[in-house]
Chains A and B, each alone.
Chain A
Amino acid sequence: DAGVIQSPRHEVTEMGQEVTLRCKPISGHNSLFWYRQTMMRGLELLIYFNNNVPIDDSGMPEDRFSAKMPNASFSTLKIQPSEPRDSAVYFCASSPAGGTFEAFFGQGTRLTVV
């Protein structure tokens, strides 16, 4: 198995532009998570899907952020418009049915907004 696949690995964009991050979870996993990591705030949960349905989006910073999971093998996190404070590493993770003690993380997308 290739693991959780995220794209792009690096993204540099100008303030105000739309950014879309992509994630392919491990086949058969029915839980998907988006996390954001910064030095100041650590690893923060943004949103959690179970069976493609958003269960908890209380971590989404504001309306500029949106996430979708149209099917079991794909999810997107969109930021529109982007701001410099959105610069961070964004991780997607998935876990199998029955619990989330063990989440499998993708390699992350390093986003820089200038």
Chain B
Amino acid sequence: GQSLEQPSEVTAVEGAIVQINCTYQTSGFYGLSWYQQHDGGAPTFLSYNALDGLEETGRFSSFLSRSDSYGYLLLQELQMKDSASYFCAVRTGRRALTFGSGTRLQVQP
């Protein structure tokens, strides 16, 4: 089976940088995705990494180390609207996403 671990909560202030880590155990690993979900909303795709290294998309970056079974999401220049839950998800040989339990990010003024 698959298992993913990420911190349950992270707090940061506006304008700061925050890193949300994700470690995984799975077989047939294809890649790691990140999703954002605001309260009452649906998960929305942020980024993915299939290969080792850093992917940058605006204020958000995602990193993957396949050898360490580890990835992180980096959020820069935090804004209040970034307060949400963030999920890492792995794609396996079954071609379906398995999600972590989510990290609740609270951005304070």
Contacts and interface: CB of A to CB of B under 8 A. Distances in A.
A31 B95 CA distance: 9
A101 B95 CA distance: 9
Given A42-B101, A99-B91, A101-B33, A91 B96 contact: no
A22 B96 CA distance: 20
Contacts of B41: 107
Q: Which secondary structure characterizes the binding site on chain A?
A: strand
Interface residues of A, number: 22
Contacts of B43: 43, 91, 93, 103, 105
A73 B43 CA distance: 21
26 contacts: A31-B95, A33-B96, A35-B99, A42-B100, A43-B87, A43-B99, A45-B96, A45-B97, A45-B98, A45-B99, A55-B94, A56-B96, A91-B42, A93-B43, A99-B95, A100-B96, A101-B31, A101-B45, A101-B97, A102-B33, A103-B43, A105-B42, A106-B42, A107-B41, A107-B42, A108-B42
